[in-house]
Amino acid sequence: MHHNGLINACVDIDGVLCIDLTDKENDDVKKYIEFIRNEKSRIIPSSTIGYLVTARLEKYREDTEYWLNKVGVKYNNLIMMNLNSKRERQASGSHRIYN
């Protein structure tokens, strides 16, 4: 996470740059926004990331960008899901937990 090659990479946010949220925090409203704005970082790259990708919804862009700026993550592009709700995201089957 400290290599200049990150400029050509895609990096996920949750579980990589920060801890994963719990089911309790994943309410798609107040607790979720609180998590996004105050989450604990895992690693903060010292190089600029080309593409940040996330299953977070587009409606949380401002909160996500707030946190990224707060902790000092440098990036060129932030790719988020253009869906309206957590339920819609889950129904799309685009979000998975990988261990």
Calpha distance 21→2 (Å, rounded): 25
- pLDDT tens for the chain, 99 residues: list them: 888 999 999 999 999 999 988 878 776 678 889 999 999 999 999 999 999 999 888 999 999 999 999 999 999 999 998 866 666 666 666 655 544
Nearest of 91, 17, 29 to residue 54 by alpha carbon:
17
Model confidence pTM above 0.85: no
Q: Is residue 37 part of a domain?
A: yes
How many other C-beta atoms can be found within 10 angstroms of the C-beta atom of residue 21? 17
Q: Is residue 82 part of a domain?
A: yes
Calpha distance 32→22 (Å, rounded): 10
Q: Is residue 19 part of a domain?
A: yes
Q: Is residue 32 part of a domain?
A: yes
Q: How many domains does the chain have?
A: 1
The sign of the dihedral angle between the CA atoms of 68, 38, 58, 97 is positive
Domain around 35: 4-92
